[in-house]
Structure formats: structure tokens, C-alpha cells
């Protein structure tokens, strides 16, 4: 197992600077953000231009990672593959395919994305939509030796009231997407606030987890007693503002990382554990973000056998 981080937390820095910083601070891998330079999310990062990727770009990228002794663990483009706008949905699928092509050129095993959701349809209607549209992406990736991994993020902020925007948040849905040929980019933070035990959920599925993310969550049960599980209603300013939990870097929340890492080892996981930094306390500028990454490294590195 290697410890890395997702580069999306540093959108203002070029990949060259991120790689140098990561290698200099004990990280062994990077999960590289590949959103288009102009996209739909206000915090997207574009550290590889996969839409214009070719052998020359692949050679330069491999040379950069070799120079710093790093592994490129996965390409990361987490978008809504069931977007209600059919044109947007097609654009997203095209960019997923561009990621697959780039991963194949680089010899990278995985590309990360979301299932997503059409908010105007029921869950069962969304699942039927996914079963019609998404197997073509799995087939495209498989033909090129690449696995598409789905993060189990709820993406509650995609719905104005904070309801699930990515239909991949529970073991029930994991089993459904495994049947479509997807794999899981396991992240325990989302399970914690959903009331799902992260270790219990992890154990049966490690053979379908080629890559994992490390993000923590800090719960406030007293606030939950006021707002309920679904979070703020009257005082909600946006879909992300639940009022009773928040994401943290590993070590500053309620996830039991000792048990998570031990369970991964016991199940034979040999991939990369990639820190996904979305901590509001350690955000705002490059210095604070990198301090958060240092906290995550201090928390996780003693648990990982070199």
C-alpha cells in the first residue's frame, strides 16, 4: 500500500510543483485531477489536459513522476454521468473516454468518476437510465485495459436540499454498479455520516477496490438532534450545508483509520490510499492546504508498512 493525495485540493498549482512538494513531504503517489480547464464545478482542477493527450504528453508525465519517485495512482474526473441535460451528459461521457485514453497511454490502471443522478427522476428510473447509458463507458475502458472506479460520495450538494446526487453511496448500490462492471474508489468519510459502519461495509468488497481515498468526517450529534439526518432546512444556504457534520483531513474527524487500514491490509489491498483534502479549516490558500496534507500524512503514514 502507498500513501498519496488527490491533486484537486491545489487547483492553482501546476502538476510539476505539486509533484515536487509531495515527494518532499513523504507522499508516494498522486491521484491527478483532470477536469476540463472550463467546467461545471467551482473547485475543479485541471492538472493534465486529457482532451489533448498524446504519446509526447504521456512521456513527459512519466518523466515527471519518475523524477520524483512517485506513482500516478489514478486519473480523477468526478462528474455527473446522468446529468439531466443530455448535451452535458454526452460531454461528460466524452471526457471520461478521454481520461481512459490518457490512462491507457500512461499505463494507469484506473479512472475515477461518479454515477451521478438525474434529479427529476426517481432512484429506480435513474438506475434504469444508468443501465442503458453507462455500460458503453465500461466497455470502452475495458477494451483499453482500464477500470472505471466510482467514489461512494453522496454528492449531496448537487441537490438544492442536500439529497443524494450520486447513486453509489451504499453497499446496496455498490453491488448494483459492480454488476455493470464498475469498481469502487472507497472513501469511509461518506459512510460515517450516513450511519454505515465503514469497516463493516469495506470487508466484503476489497477485491472490487483497486484504489481508495482517505477523507475524514467530523460529526456533531447535538446539531443532528436539531436538524435531523437530512440537515438544515430553514437555514440552509446551499446543498452542501448540512449543519451537523463536515469533512476533515484524516486525524481530525471520527473515522477510525487504524481499523480501516488494518482491514485493507487483511483483505489484500495493495493499491494507493489517496488523501482527498476537503477540510474547510485547512483551506483557503496553498499554505493552509499543504498544512492539512501534512496533518493527513502524520496520521496515516505510521499505519502503512513501507
Tell me: the pLDDT tens digits for 144-156? 999 999 999 999 9
Q: With contact defined as beta carbons under 8 Å apart, do 244 and 223 qualify?
A: yes
Of 169, 147, 148, nearest to 158 by C-alpha is: 169
pLDDT bucket at 159, cuts 50 / 70 / 90 = confident
Query: Is the pLDDT reported for residue 282 higher than 80?
Result: yes
Q: What is the pTM of this model?
A: 0.96
CATH class as words, domain 2-303: alpha beta
Q: How far apart are CA 216 and CA 293, in angstroms?
A: 12
Q: How far apart are CA 169 and CA 286, in angstroms?
A: 30
How far, in whole angstroms, is CA 122 from its chain's centroid? 24
Q: What is the mean pLDDT of the chain?
A: 96
Q: Summarize pLDDT for 34-77 with one digit per residue, the tens.
A: 999 865 454 579 999 999 999 999 999 999 999 999 999 999 99
What would you report as the CA-atom Rg of the chain, rounded to the nearest whole angstrom? 18
Supply angle C-alpha 97, 98, 101, rounded to 5: 90
Q: Summarize pLDDT for 75-86 with one digit per residue, the tens.
A: 999 999 999 999
Rounded alpha-carbon distances, angstroms, from residue 179 to 5, 19, 141, 298: 29, 36, 15, 37
Q: How far apart are CA 303 and CA 306, in angstroms?
A: 10
Q: Among residues of the chain, what percentage have pLDDT more than 90?
A: 92
For the chain, the structural domain boundaries read 2-303
Amino acid at each position: 500500500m502507498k500513501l498519496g493525495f488527490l491533486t484537486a485540493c491545489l487547483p492553482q498549482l501546476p502538476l510539476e510543483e505539486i509533484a515536487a512538494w509531495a515527494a518532499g513531504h513523504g507522499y508516494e503517489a498522486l491521484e491527478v485531477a483532470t477536469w476540463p480547464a472550463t467546467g461545471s464545478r467551482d473547485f475543479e482542477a485541471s492538472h493534465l489536459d486529457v482532451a489533448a493527450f498524446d504519446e509526447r504528453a504521456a512521456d513527459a508525465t512519466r518523466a515527471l513522476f519518475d523524477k520524483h519517485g512517485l506513482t500516478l495512482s489514478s486519473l480523477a474526473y468526478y462528474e455527473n454521468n446522468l446529468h439531466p441535460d443530455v448535451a452535458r451528459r454526452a460531454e461528460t461521457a466524452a471526457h471520461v473516454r478521454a481520461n481512459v485514453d490518457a490512462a491507457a497511454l500512461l499505463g494507469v490502471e484506473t479512472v475515477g468518476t461518479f454515477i451521478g443522478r438525474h434529479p427529476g427522476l426517481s432512484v429506480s428510473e435513474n438506475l434504469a437510465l444508468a443501465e442503458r447509458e453507462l455500460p458503453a463507458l465500461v466497455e470502452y475502458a475495458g477494451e483499453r485495459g482500464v477500470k472505471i472506479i466510482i467514489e461512494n460520495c453522496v454528492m449531496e450538494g448537487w441537490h438544492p436540499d442536500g439529497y443524494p446526487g450520486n447513486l453509489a453511496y451504499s453497499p446496496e448500490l455498490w453491488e448494483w454498479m459492480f454488476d455493470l462492471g464498475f469498481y469502487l474508489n472507497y472513501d469511509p468519510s461518506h459512510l460515517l455520516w450516513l450511519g454505515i459502519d465503514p469497516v463493516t461495509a469495506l470487508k466484503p468488497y476489497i477485491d472490487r477496490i483497486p484504489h481508495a481515498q482517505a477523507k475524514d468526517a467530523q460529526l456533531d450529534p447535538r446539531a443532528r438532534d436539531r436538524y435531523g439526518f437530512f440537515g438544515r432546512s430553514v437555514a440552509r444556504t446551499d446543498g452542501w450545508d448540512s449543519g451537523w457534520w463536515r469533512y476533515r483531513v484524516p486525524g481530525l474527524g471520527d473515522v477510525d483509520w487504524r481499523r480501516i487500514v488494518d482491514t485493507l491490509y487483511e483483505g489484500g489491498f495493495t493499491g494507493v490510499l489517496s488523501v482527498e483534502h476537503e477540510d474547510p479549516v485547512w483551506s483557503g490558500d496553498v499554505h493552509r492546504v499543504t498544512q492539512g496534507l501534512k496533518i493527513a500524512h502524520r496520521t496515516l503514514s505510521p499505519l502503512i508498512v513501507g
